[in-house]
């Protein structure tokens, strides 16, 4: 290896190498026992994919609204947040114009490498919220919500973790209480944060941007008739009827007005502060006080 490096350096100094620069990285590449461009194509999944990635990188680096080439190291958190929100808007414009899913995937990957925290604001929607909607919502629910979600007319976040509960999903405390239809009103679920430890914690885009959330919660509903009713010692008393917990459900909850971005009544959210390398992404601490919305899964 050392001999190859010496030989490449000698070739370079003698002006015989392919390189016209003294960049040590170039010298290393010239001394490689394989063709780096072949390796680059292999890692990208083929020469065509590599060409696409490079074209997108170039296009994105030259786009001032996207701002991926701006030096962010001296920016305040507020400034990086603002710039990343502008970048997200531009990303969505470009993403809407992309002609295929392959180009969109490549664009998202390039954005992730160029500006991880701005990409985080997009990926919470594309890679966490949307797959949850696709996997858990009924056909009817998907017909109602997917077109808006896929077109970024709503921005979703993924609200599982709570202040007191991370990996242990079964221990989550947020409740989703089933309210049966009455007096002409359709049935719904009321979402509630009963304790401080039940606050949804670290939720990406929850602090500022997300308009909707996939909220993981304990389903509270009337105890069933039959054998399970005999187990009603475990059932919680709620209002006039016997209610019990049925396990974790995921609900689609609207957090903010999609036009003004203001939090809706019954929803609170605050910022969790600075994060090394991720200041462009707004991770939030969220709580609910009985807003009603729809369920995506049965218990």
Ligand X SMILES: Cc1cc2nc3c(=O)[nH]c(=O)nc-3n(C[C@H](O)[C@H](O)[C@H](O)COP(=O)(O)OP(=O)(O)OC[C@H]3O[C@@H](n4cnc5c(N)ncnc54)[C@H](O)[C@@H]3O)c2cc1C
Distance CA 28, CA 119 (A): 32
Contacts (Cβ under 8 Å, ≥6 apart) of 164: 171, 173, 195, 197, 198
Contacts (Cβ under 8 Å, ≥6 apart) of 282: 81, 121, 204, 205, 206, 207, 208, 209, 271
273 binds ligand X (CB under 6 A): no
Q: Least distance (Å) from ligand X to the CB of residue 294?
A: 19
HEC per residue, 229-297? HHCHHHCEEECCEEEEEEEEEEEEEECECCCCCCECCCEEEEECCCCCCCCCCCEEEEEEEEEEEEECC
Q: Can you read off the two tokens belonging to residue 294?
A: 């729809």
Question: Of 84, 117, 124, 218, which one interacts with ligand X (CB under 6 A)?
Answer: 124
Q: Can you read off the two tokens belonging to residue 38?
A: 């072949």
Question: Of 91, 115, 145, 158, which one interacts with ligand X (CB under 6 A)?
Answer: 158
Distance CA 32, CA 1 (A): 9
Q: Least distance (Å) from ligand X to the CB of residue 117?
A: 10
Residues pairing with 283 in the sheet: 204
Residues pairing with 158 in the sheet: 214
Q: Least distance (Å) from ligand X to the CB of residue 215?
A: 10
Distance CA 263, CA 256 (A): 4
Residues pairing with 251 in the sheet: 215, 295
β-pairing, 175-179 with 188-192? antiparallel
280 binds ligand X (CB under 6 A): no
What's the burial of 106, exposed, middle or buried (CB within 10 Å: 0-12/13-18/19+)?
buried
Question: Of 60, 159, 235, 251, which one interacts with ligand X (CB under 6 A)?
Answer: 159
248 binds ligand X (CB under 6 A): no
In the shown chain, the binding pattern of residues 67 to 106 toward ligand X, with x for contact by CB under 6 A and - for none, equals ----------------------------------------
Q: Least distance (Å) from ligand X to the CB of residue 256?
A: 16
Question: Of 193, 220, 283, 294, which one interacts with ligand X (CB under 6 A)?
Answer: 283
174 binds ligand X (CB under 6 A): no
166 binds ligand X (CB under 6 A): yes
Q: Least distance (Å) from ligand X to the CB of residue 86?
A: 22
203 binds ligand X (CB under 6 A): yes
288 binds ligand X (CB under 6 A): no
Smaller CB separation from ligand X, 110 or 215: 215
161 binds ligand X (CB under 6 A): yes
Asked if 258 and 264 touch (Cβ cutoff 8 Å), the reply is: no
In the shown chain, the binding pattern of residues 24 to 63 toward ligand X, with x for contact by CB under 6 A and - for none, equals ----------------------------------------
Asked if 139 and 292 touch (Cβ cutoff 8 Å), the reply is: no
Question: Which single residue brings its beta carbon nearest to ligand X?
Answer: 166
Question: Of 160, 219, 252, 286, which one interacts with ligand X (CB under 6 A)?
Answer: 160
Smaller CB separation from ligand X, 57 or 124: 124
202 binds ligand X (CB under 6 A): yes
Interface residues with ligand X (CB under 6 A)? 124, 157-161, 166-168, 202-204, 275, 283
């Amino acid at each position: 290896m050392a001999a190859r490096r010496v030989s490449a350096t000698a070739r370079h100094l003698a002006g015989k190498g392919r390189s016209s620069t003294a960049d040590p990285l170039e010298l290393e590449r010239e001394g490689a026992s394989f063709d780096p461009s072949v390796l680059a194509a292999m890692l990208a999944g083929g020469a065509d994919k590599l060409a696409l990635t490079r074209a997108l990188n170039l296009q994105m680096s030259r786009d001032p609204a996207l701002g991926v080439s701006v030096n962010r190291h001296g920016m305040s958190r507020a400034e990086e947040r603002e710039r990343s929100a502008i970048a997200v808007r531009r990303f969505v414009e470009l993403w809407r114009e992309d002609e295929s899913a392959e180009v969109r995937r490549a664009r998202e990957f390039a954005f992730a490498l160029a500006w991880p925290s701005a990409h985080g604001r997009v990926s919470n929607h594309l890679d966490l919220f949307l797959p949850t909607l696709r996997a858990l919502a009924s056909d009817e629910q998907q017909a109602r919500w997917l077109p808006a979600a896929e077109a970024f007319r709503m921005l979703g976040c993924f609200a599982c973790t709570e202040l007191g509960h991370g990996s242990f999903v079964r221990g989550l405390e947020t409740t989703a209480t089933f309210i049966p239809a009455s007096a002409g009103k359709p049935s719904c679920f009321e979402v509630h944060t009963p304790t401080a430890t039940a606050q949804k914690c670290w939720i990406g885009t929850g602090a500022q941007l997300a308009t909707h959330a996939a909220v993981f919660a304990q389903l509270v509903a009337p105890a069933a008739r039959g054998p399970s009713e005999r187990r009603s010692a475990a059932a919680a008393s709620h209002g006039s009827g016997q209610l019990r917990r049925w396990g974790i459900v995921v609900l689609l909850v609207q957090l903010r007005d999609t036009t003004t971005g203001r939090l809706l009544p019954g929803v609170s959210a605050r910022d969790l502060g600075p994060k090394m390398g991720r200041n462009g992404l707004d991770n939030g601490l969220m709580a609910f006080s009985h807003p009603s919305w729809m369920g995506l899964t049965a218990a």
